[in-house]
Structure 1
Amino acid sequence: MNPYFYHGAWPPQHPSAGGHGAMPMPSVLGLPPMPPVFGMAHSHPSLASHAAGSSNAVTPLHHMYYHGPCQALMASSSKQTVPAAGEPPLVDAEGNVDKVAKAKVVSMIKAVPDFPKPGIVFRDITTLVEHPEGLDLTTDIIAAYYAARGAQLDAVVGCEARGFIWGATLARQLGVGLIVLRKKGKLPRETISRDYSLEYGSASLECHVDSITPGMRVVLVDDLLATGGTMAASVALVRELGADVVGTAFISDLPALGGRAKLEGDGIDVFSIVAFD
């Protein structure tokens, strides 16, 4: 059994009957469809909302679905994940990602040689998000990092475009809103912008001025950290609006390109799940 992702058979059973209480996802993911009524079941005993002693407790879907046996999705306002008894944490207090989890993420990122030009190995994250386990696990790992640090967040900021993927899933996991940074001309209300350099020119990011209030604690999310130019501009943009940047999070890091050193040199906390030479 995969220790990080498991769907129990339908119908869910009370743990005392030997069932895991896991809710299958819809058939769009290739799994058995849910019956018309899916609320009449127990959640895993580690969930805060478990109604002890009641065989007919109505449990919302997001409380019933969990990742066993490594961790369960807590039914609390923070929606943080916790490891099951005897399982290592996804991220320890020093920020180190569990080796098994990291290896699984690496295995789902396809290396494409000679793209976009000869001599470059492109790390394709589309194979990661095409797999339901990949998107789910990476979101859990980022959430676990901030949980291990005891971070209190008010919002997640997603950087266009692939930062929207994990920005959305992380915001939902943490029970906070998602603020989007978009390329110039894409946002309809009043905005502020920040220019940044690319190897072939320059670009701009914009944010709605009313999306962030002074003192709001945010984490910025993107898929890849390379030279760090995009994220540095993103951090400067939200700070201009008064945000307190708790940190930045990435799926992968290319440390040889200097982005991590650049951000950390500016006092910005950096977390990435994997790193490639």
Structure 2
Amino acid sequence: MQHVSLMAGSSNAEKLELVAQSIRSFPDFPSKGILFWDICPILKDPRTLTAVTDLFEEHVRKNFPQVELIVGLDARGFLFGPLLSQRLGIGFALVRKKGKLPGPTVGVAYDLEYGKAEAEIQADAVAPGQKVLIIDDLLATGGTLFAACELMKEQKAEVLGCLVVIELKELKGAERLKPNSVYSLVQH
């Protein structure tokens, strides 16, 4: 059965504009000096969520037809990743905060803008040599995505690239992720 978009006939520019208009910002959240980019309005509107999924799907089909698995980051990568993996007809794997996954796990520690954290994946979630794309909602300094890339290296998977809804360009997170490419829908 072929997927029929709720936005049939809409151009990519129209879809990107819809996504960009749906993102709102909140100053001083979760702490003073932080500008929080809120994706909740995207999730609230089926048309906008479809636009995000359409844009990611088109990019992946064009640039990464060999992808075998989408890996989503805790927690907002879980919102977009399964929709994309379903469209592509491939699996989805979770990278979670330490202690949240059952069974044997593989983990990596990493730095955040405001502390340290650890990320884990189930030891059998990714096969050696498997071609993966990593997805999250936001790229800031790149700490969490970098940790996920390191986890994939430990699992001997091949990271094809990273996908995000929002990229905060001034924080240069994409530089930290090189040689992995970053595809972002909206840049601030």
Instruction: Identify whether the pair has TM-score above 0.5, normalized to the shorter chain.
Output: yes
Aligned residues: 188
Give the equivalent residue in structure 1 for 2:39. 125
Aligned pairs for 1:1-277 within 5 A:
63=2, 65-70=4-9, 98-263=12-177, 266-276=178-188
Considering only CA atoms, is the larger Rg found in Structure 1 or Structure 2? Answer: 1
Contact 1:151 1:246 in 2 (8 A): no
Give the equivalent residue in structure 2 for 1:42. none
Q: Deviations over 1:189-208 (max 9, x none)?
A: 11110000123321100111
Q: Please, which runs of 5 or more residues in structure 2 have no aligned partner? A: none
AA of the residue aligned to 1:109 = I
Q: For 2:29 and 2:154, locate their aligned partners in 1 and report how far apart those are by CA, in whole Å.
A: 36
Pair 107,213 (structure 1): closer, same or farther in 2 beyond 3 Å: same
Pair 64,272 (structure 1): closer, same or farther in 2 beyond 3 Å: closer
Structure 1 length-normalised TM: 0.64
Give the equivalent residue in structure 2 for 1:79. none
Give the drift of 1:110.
1.6
- More strand per residue: 1 or 2? 2
Q: For 1:171 and 1:64, locate their aligned partners in 2 and report how far apart those are by CA, in whole Å.
A: 13
Give the drift of 1:258.
1.5
Q: For 2:99 and 2:28, locate their aligned partners in 1 and report how far apart those are by CA, in whole Å.
A: 33
Contact 2:22 2:41 in 1 (8 A): yes
Please state whether the residue corresponding to 1:194 is helix, strand or coil.
Answer: strand
Pair 64,185 (structure 1): closer, same or farther in 2 beyond 3 Å: closer
Pair 248,240 (structure 1): closer, same or farther in 2 beyond 3 Å: same
- More helix per residue: 1 or 2? 2
RCO comparison, higher one (Cα < 8 Å, 6+): 2
Q: For 2:128 and 2:50, locate their aligned partners in 1 and report how far apart those are by CA, in whole Å.
A: 31
Structure 2 length-normalised TM: 0.92
Q: For 2:182 and 2:3, locate their aligned partners in 1 and report how far apart those are by CA, in whole Å.
A: 32
Q: For 2:17 and 2:171, locate their aligned partners in 1 and report how far apart those are by CA, in whole Å.
A: 22
Q: Please, which runs of 5 or more residues in structure 1 have no aligned partner? A: 1-48, 50-62, 71-86, 89-97
Question: RMSD of aligned C-alpha atoms?
Answer: 1.7
Pair 150,230 (structure 1): closer, same or farther in 2 beyond 3 Å: closer
